[in-house]
Amino acid sequence: MALYYFFCDICQKEVKKLLPPKKSKLEQLCKIDGSVLIRTPKDITTSLKEVIDTGLQARKIEQIAGAPGLLEEREHQEREKKKRITL
């Protein structure tokens, strides 16, 4: 099972689905309006990590919780530093 990202062009919503690889190639429908979802690239905070096990699971997907908020906060802090430097 892997985490896949989709986008609904009709209702403009981003959707994440945990699917087996075989089902990820099938058409996915939006739960809100029933239109076909468009598969999008992974979020910037997603990374692949190698997992050592019996070989049944070669990789897993891990997302850092709250990463988008942390990025926004870091950008805000950097803008504030630049403002102070220019004054």
With 0.85 as the threshold, say if the pTM is over it.
no
Angle made by CA atoms 37, 6, 65, in degrees to the nearest 5: 155
Mean pLDDT score across all residues of the chain: 76
Segments forming the whole domain that contains residue 42: 2-86
Proportion of the chain above pLDDT 70, given as a percent: 69
CB of 37 closer than 8 Å to CB of 30: yes
**DSSP states along 28-71:** -B-TTT-PBPEEEPPPTTEEEEE--SSSS--EEEEE-TTHHHHH
Task: Say what the pLDDT of residue 29 is.
Answer: 92
State the total domains in the chain: 1
The pLDDT score that the predictor gives to residue 37 is: 92
Model pLDDT for residues 18-53, shown as the tens digit of each residue = 888 888 788 999 999 999 999 887 755 555 554 455
Angle among Cα 39, 15, 70 to the nearest 5 degrees reads 110
Would you say 4 and 37 are in contact if contact means Cβ atoms under 8 Å apart?
A: no
d(CA 46, CA 7): 17
